[in-house]
A = this chain, B = another copy of it.
């Protein structure tokens, strides 16, 4: 086992052991765990993924690993080269800008479609998530809460494929959110922006909501860009 692969297996061990719910198939299990590992940063960009090593780490044969890698490839989380193998996609300033451009196009659209159909239950759930983020001490859990908050505001857009895309991009953004949090500290997690988004949604003001959302994403993008520039 190579050094890189060994390190990958070790950092996976915790996630594998922590897999609470039993999945219906081994492929689902491997795919979900690997995706979490990549998005959370446990597997950093450039890490080679050897099928044999992964199979051993997960306690399955190479086959479910291969199918899981195929799906991750389609999600642009790994680079797959025939007869050579898979490597975790590198993160970079330009890739972050790419993700930002996609989010900037998709999320205001989803938000605008959703706002007219949001009800009191949605608003209170979003408010709860803001409170949860205020109280959450673990930075690694912040990504999921942030994602759920955003999705709770878009949920009534009535466009399942659009929402699936948005959720995927939000998850991809998690790889960069960690740097954002490290740079600004969690007290600057733009909770004011979140509250402003919720207020605008409550008021049914789609224009203001979209404007707040765009500036919210803009500041995050600027922070991350600065992070990459400074190293």
Residues of A within 8 A of B (CB): 24-25, 27-28, 66-67, 70-71, 73-76, 82-83, 95, 97-99, 101-102, 104-106, 108-110, 113, 157, 159-162, 164-165
Contact = CB atoms under 8 A, between A and B. Distances in A.
A101 B159 contact: yes
A164 to B, nearest CB: 7
Given A105-B105, A106-B105, A106-B106, A76 B24 contact: no
Q: What is the interface of chain A mostly: helix, strand, loop, or mixed?
A: helix
A150 to B, nearest CB: 15
A98 B160 CA distance: 7
A97 B70 CA distance: 29
Contacts of A164: 76
B98 A161 contact: yes
B159 A98 contact: yes
Contacts of A66: 67
Contacts of A24: 82-83
Contacts of A165: 102, 165
B67 A25 contact: no
8 contacts: A24-B83, A27-B70, A66-B67, A67-B67, A74-B74, A76-B164, A101-B157, A105-B162
